Structure 1
Amino acid sequence: MDIKFTGKTALVTGAGQGIGRAIAKRLFQHGAEVFALSKSPENLQSLLREAPGIHTVTVDLEDWEATEKAVKGLGHIDLLVNNAGVAILEPFLDIKSGSFDKLFNVNLKAVINVSQIVAKQMIDSKIGGSIVHVSSQASQAPLKDHAVYCSTKAALDMLCKVMALELGQHKIRVNCVNPTVVLTEMGKLGWSDPSKADPMLAGIPLGRFAEVEEVVDAVVYLLSDRASMIHGTTLPVDGGFLAC
């Protein structure tokens, strides 16, 4: 499927590494002007060496005011990918206040902040646009030691639906992509222990974890005009995990 984003401007959060980095590079390859946002200048400099021409934005998404200033300064955005996220794993009985706050601040509150700014600009331009949130299969399936993380992703899915309900009249499409474990560098390290990986793999009918590019494919498709009637969805990229 030939997808082009020539003439479009995209913003990808959490673009310094992993899935976000791959999304930013793919959108750039498809012709978009890309703003890659991360709190790590080192990761952004590394990204620039791989894809000269991408614009970088260094800001901590937990800082509401700094994020608002940075995103407003970018001008009109046609395509937004809210990819940034954190995971702090704690058993339910050991959940700490600081962990709760950080997870919700990054995984949900920052998404609201960035999306409000971008959506208002889309409305003002009367052009519309497309927004994709990177959620997780953990939004719909409980995982041990993931109580708060699962809760943030469930909230993100519902945020997607409400945004779709309210923004559709402005020709702004909003969707979620919900991956299983993804084999980023971090994912490979975190799931290298068979005692941890095997029980999860046993619940995936395809019998494997997702590759980064498989998640990128789904995000790019939902951003594109090829998905022009897809709105308010949560798209699993999970090998059938949620079907069982």
Structure 2
Amino acid sequence: MTAVEPKCNTGVAALYIVAAAMGTMEQVVNRTDRLPGIGVLYGFPGYGKTMAASKLVNMYNAIHVEAKSFWTRKNILETILHGMGIRAEVTISKMFDQVCKELSDTGRPLIMDEMDHIVEKGAVELIRDIHDKADAPILLIGEERLPGKLAKWERVHSRIMVWTPAPAASVDDARELARYYASGITIEDDLLAAITAKAHGSVRRISVNLDRAKTEAITRGITSIGLKEWGKTELYTGEAPAPRKEPK
């Protein structure tokens, strides 16, 4: 298997979730021979897991597959091959051989995102088969309950080398995200802290509020915005609005 060297990364590489994902990938890519090569990154929705996966694609030349709820084993293999730039054979067994050969020959890691869908479809053994035949590093990404779901599949569970909980986004993460979602505008520390507190760990919610803060600053013609300027406007929390009363 060919070793894969991480490339220099840019963008939101300083986020804690990216560091956690990279640390997990490093362990499975650089593991000692004959050790299991599956890592699991799990956490709540909005924590930035898929965003981190996109960074790993660039850093490790990884194949990133986002599973869908309706997928069959054939869909999984076809999509992996598409990500490899390989035309899929007709049968599942031949597609499986294609996937394993490419992973074995190149040493490229495979990232299976939205892994909960694959587990719920009972197709998780396919991922184990790929791991075993290709001896490939594989990163599984899913929701907070993914470890418990995988525990029911002992032959998969026993091949997992590292379990990594996705960290909740911090004020430092919010400050880093502001460079992109509020570029050209200074978001003061008090507003960053309030945005982070309301986000409850979600990178997605922080990003939405930073974009709103930038829009507010531009609308008012100011280059810096804090809690004083933000005023009493509610921050986005992701919560559904309460039902309105029917007019009489």
Taking structure 2 as the reference length, the TM-score comes to 0.33
**Structure showing greater relative contact order (alpha-carbon pairs closer than 8 Å, 6 or more residues apart):** 2
Which structure's CA Rg is the greater one? 2
Taking structure 1 as the reference length, the TM-score comes to 0.33
